[in-house]
Structure 1
């Protein structure tokens, strides 16, 4: 048995000097390797109007990744429901579930996945983006009914999501970094993936509240928690320190309103950090797990104990694709994943 259950949460990062198309190709390459290593899930993120991430439509990339692999579960991490109708999302995921039975996850996020301009451009008829909690809950309930082929009442007769029939529905997860998403996941009886790499400070309280409020459902008899964590493993601590500098300079630029591609470590290490920027970097490091195998192994044990879970969705970003693949290889050894059998 694996020591930990691990999946990949891939944001399709775009490195300086490479194109978004190359980033998408790297995502597919990593998915194939992740399956070989024994990772359980491969989730693809949704981002818009940014130089940093190349994946605006996870369902299309999911279809390609699922076709390139054989056994790994493929999902969204997550689809940003505020931009779409529940029926549209349900039909996309039921189609994926029909094509790849028993392998599809439906991860849903409440955030826009873009800035305010991007959210306005994505809104139907250029209306104002709607983050209102009650509407989001209504859409989630509709989405759950559609993907299960239960039908959702309309003014005249139930509407069924296509394709209809005996399709194993995708597994629903709600993704979030705060109490609102946790409360909805508990109320609906969905799995909850806590984005520790975004909201780690109060994470244990958020996850505890989800478990306490959980209502058993047709989806799950008991609460299920996965932790979305940024983890970077290198051959030793010094190498990990060098590699992670790329994401740190990227994060600083983001806080300054600059959407850049992930810089090379050499550029990041040469950057002169102001006292305020250095303090920001320390705060960011508190939400990251990085180092050589021994360091990461200890940190993973702490996260598992803090959140009382053995399941992780792992974000890893490096400027060099080979270093990112190597990080997942080392993590597979730490988690004692079972390599996929040749078919």
Structure 2
């Protein structure tokens, strides 16, 4: 029996995507070759990466001055690569401290430039997104962590600023439509809403790339290098790109980003309603900033928490244990999670009878 996987990542994907990926790993399109052994420069793979890029363009309705890149290194590498490409030696960027991944972003950017931390939610244990701050005049861009997976908070409205946004969208990429013109760089690593671990999709608004800079960017980290080489400057992780293509096809076939957003809202409302109703559980994030993708909650006592985890495991629900710094539970409900799994989790909460 297949388990119901609420893991924050690597996360569950639709069964049909796993099956298509498994088939291609053995024999890609009856070619007698595995997808994993086809050269990244072969015509067969060129078709794969071009279709994947075209689908990202279509789903997000990207203008022609945006480029779609497929890069290794994960989202963590982009925390350094983005400021490296956008900032001169004496430039600064701004960020709002929303949690774990914002702190990682601050640390990475401080190795390269001045960082203005506009506000922090640390005093309330990152249960909300700070909204009362002033943007300094010298900031070249504002970095946002679109969705903090660990604390379960999400930007439902992006800050209105007159400088580009650079967004780590790892956990809500391809989950809702976007006004992309507000962004300079968007990056997201798999495996949450698309692909499998090993690939990062980076959307580059070429209008924000400086025409000249006093910073010497190493060739391998220069966005222009990968734009000029169609993401094939060096060997791209081919199988993860192929699985990303399968997920992109699935998202389009299922109704696109509007449908993904509709499903995310439905799944999260179902679970949050039970969290708020059930006296044994309580939510962690303030309601207006709750993530529709990572619902973080806790039991009213450590003993009940242990019992409920065991109850879930017994009923084939896995991956809901919260991050150590937050504790409690975290139910991740990305694109590949069907609502039936959420319904099962809610039923387990309703029927749970702890031994007190």
TM-score (norm 1): 0.25
Q: Which has the larger radius of gyration?
A: 2
